[in-house]
C-alpha cells in the first residue's frame, strides 16, 4: 500500500483535488473553484479577467459605482475574457435594483450580494434575471435561511480577512457551518493564502475558497505600486482591525495594515463623541460622521498610493505575500501546494 501511495502521480492528485471541489467548479463554471474576493478599486476588469483566464473565478467589485459605470466595467471585462465571472453588489447601494438590471442586460452569470443579509425579493430579482446568487453567511442559521430564500451558494468569511470583517475566525465558522450545509456550495474565505489551507477546508466539506489579499500583488492588479510594496513588506500581525472606542457608537471593524490613519480613526471617534456629549451633534449625525471617516481612504491608498493616511485594507494572510507575480503563476503555486499536500497525505495513509 505504501509503495502505491508513494508512486501516486500528479494526475492522481489533480483528480483528487477536482473531486473535492467539483461542486464548486460546476456552480461557478470554471476549472478551479477559487473565487476572487471583491476588493473596491482593485477588483476591476484587469484583475478579474486575469483570474478567470487563469482558471479561477473573478468577481468585479461594484462598490459605489453608478449603473452606467458598472455597465462599462462589465463590458470591458468581457472584452478581456470569455470565461465566466461575477459581480459583487453592495446591498446598501441606493440603485441596487438598477444594478441588478445591468447585470441581466449584460448576461452576468453570478451575482454576489455583500454588506448585509439580502431580503428574499432581492434574491428573487437576481434569480429572475437569470443569475446564480451567492451570499455571505455569518452563521449556520442565517446560511440556511439564505438558501431557503434562493441563494445558490454561500461564502463564509472569517475575521482574518481584509476590509470589513465579522467577529468570528475562519476556522470556527468552517466548523460550525460546513457540517450543517452540504446541499449548496460553500466557499471559505479569510486568511487563506496557500494550497494546503485550501485542501484542508475542502476536506472539511467546502466546495471552494475565496482569496483576496493574495491577489492584490498580481502583475495584472492595478493597485498602486506603493500599495503593493506595503503588502510585500508587511507581516501578518501588521494587518489589524480598527477599534471601537464607545459601545454607544458601534463600528464595523475594518482590517487594514496599521499606519497613521489607524491612530487618526481612534482620535476622530473621541472628537466626534465629544461633540455629541457637548450637544454640538445629535447621535445620528455623530454616528454618520464616524462611519464616513473611511470614505475615500481606500481609494487614496489603492489608487493614489497614500499608504500613510489612506486605508491599506489587507487580510492577515498579507504576511505570505512576498512578491509581485503574474496571476497564472499565483494559481499554479496554489495548485502545486495543494497537490503536494495531498501527496503527503497519501504517503502517510
> How far apart are the C-alpha atoms of 166 and 252, rounded to whole Å?
8
Check: CB of residue 60 under 8 Å from CB of residue 72. no
330 and 309 share one domain: no
> How far apart are the C-alpha atoms of 92 and 102, rounded to whole Å?
17
* 257 located within any domain: yes
* 229 located within any domain: no
Take residue 258 and report the three cell numbers written for it. 496599521
Q: What is the CATH number of the domain that holds 66?
A: 3.20.20.70
> How far apart are the C-alpha atoms of 296 and 201, rounded to whole Å?
35
183 and 259 share one domain: no
Domain containing 80 equals 2-223+320-348
pLDDT recorded at residue 276: 96
150 and 69 share one domain: yes
203 and 306 share one domain: no
282 and 201 share one domain: no
pLDDT recorded at residue 38: 97
> How far apart are the C-alpha atoms of 162 and 9, rounded to whole Å?
36
10 and 61 share one domain: yes
Going by the DSSP 8-state scheme, the letter that residue 214 receives in this structure is G
Digit-coded pLDDT (tens) for 66-108: 999 999 999 999 999 999 999 999 999 999 999 999 999 999 9
175 and 58 share one domain: yes
252 and 124 share one domain: no
178 and 273 share one domain: no
140 and 259 share one domain: no
> How far apart are the C-alpha atoms of 315 and 65, rounded to whole Å?
24
* 93 located within any domain: yes
**Residue 113's beta-bridge partner residues?**
89, 135
Q: Considering only CA atoms, which of 209, 215, 110 is closest in space to residue 158? A: 209
* 181 located within any domain: yes
Digit-coded pLDDT (tens) for 150-188: 999 999 999 999 999 999 999 999 999 999 999 999 999
Q: How would you write the pLDDT of the chain (349 residues) with one tens digit per residue?
A: 343 443 344 689 999 999 999 999 999 999 999 999 999 999 999 999 999 999 999 999 999 999 999 999 999 999 999 999 999 999 999 999 999 999 999 999 999 999 999 999 999 999 998 999 999 999 999 999 999 999 999 999 999 999 999 999 999 999 999 999 999 999 999 999 999 999 999 999 999 999 999 999 999 999 999 999 999 999 999 999 999 999 999 988 999 999 999 999 999 999 999 999 999 999 999 999 998 888 789 999 999 999 999 999 999 999 999 999 999 999 999 999 999 999 999 899 8
> How far apart are the C-alpha atoms of 110 and 264, rounded to whole Å?
38
* 228 located within any domain: no
**Four-residue CA torsion sign, 228, 231, 233, 238:** positive
Query: What size, in residues, is the chain?
Result: 349
* 175 located within any domain: yes
197 and 253 share one domain: no
pLDDT recorded at residue 349: 81
207 and 253 share one domain: no
- Give the total number of structural domains in the chain: 2
Amino acid at each position: 500500500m505504501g509503495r502505491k501511495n508513494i508512486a501516486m502521480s500528479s494526475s492522481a492528485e489533480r483528480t483528487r483535488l477536482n473531486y473535492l471541489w467539483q461542486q464548486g467548479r460546476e456552480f461557478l463554471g470554471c476549472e478551479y473553484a477559487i473565487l476572487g474576493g471583491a476588493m473596491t478599486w482593485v477588483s476591476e476588469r484587469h484583475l478579474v479577467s486575469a483570474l478567470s483566464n487563469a482558471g479561477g473565478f473573478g468577481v468585479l467589485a461594484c462598490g459605489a459605482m453608478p449603473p452606467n459605470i458598472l455597465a462599462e466595467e462589465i463590458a470591458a471585462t468581457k472584452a478581456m475574457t470569455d470565461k465566466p465571472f461575477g459581480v459583487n453588489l453592495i446591498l446598501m447601494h441606493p440603485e441596487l435594483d438598477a444594478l441588478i438590471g445591468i447585470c441581466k442586460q449584460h448576461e452576468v452569470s453570478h451575482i454576489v450580494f455583500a454588506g448585509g443579509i439580502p431580503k428574499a425579493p432581492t434574491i428573487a430579482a437576481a434569480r429572475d434575471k437569470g443569475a446564480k446568487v451567492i451570499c455571505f453567511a455569518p452563521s449556520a442559521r442565517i446560511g440556511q435561511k439564505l438558501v431557503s430564500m434562493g441563494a445558490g451558494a454561500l461564502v463564509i468569511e472569517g475575521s482574518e480577512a481584509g476590509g470589513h470583517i465579522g467577529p468570528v475566525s475562519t476556522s470556527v465558522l468552517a466548523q460550525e457551518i460546513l457540517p450543517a450545509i452540504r446541499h449548496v456550495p460553500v466557499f471559505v474565505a479569510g486568511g487563506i493564502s496557500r494550497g494546503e489551507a485550501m485542501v484542508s477546508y475542502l476536506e472539511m466539506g467546502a466546495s471552494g475558497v475565496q482569496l483576496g489579499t493574495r491577489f492584490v500583488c498580481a502583475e495584472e492588479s492595478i493597485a498602486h505600486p506603493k500599495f503593493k510594496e506595503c503588502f510585500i513588506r508587511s507581516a501578518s500581525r501588521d494587518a489589524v482591525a480598527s477599534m471601537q472606542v464607545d459601545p454607544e457608537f458601534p463600528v464595523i471593524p475594518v482590517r487594514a495594515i496599521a499606519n497613521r490613519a489607524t491612530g487618526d480613526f481612534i482620535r476622530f471617534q473621541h472628537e466626534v463623541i465629544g461633540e455629541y456629549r457637548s450637544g454640538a451633534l445629535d447621535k445620528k449625525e455623530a454616528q454618520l460622521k464616524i462611519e464616513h471617516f473611511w470614505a475615500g481612504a481606500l481609494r487614496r491608498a489603492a489608487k493614489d498610493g497614500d499608504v500613510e493616511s489612506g486605508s491599506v485594507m489587507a487580510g492577515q494572510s498579507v504576511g505570505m505575500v512576498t512578491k509581485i507575480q503574474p496571476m497564472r503563476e499565483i494559481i499554479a503555486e496554489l495548485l502545486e501546494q495543494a497537490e503536494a499536500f495531498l501527496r503527503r497525505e497519501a504517503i502517510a495513509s
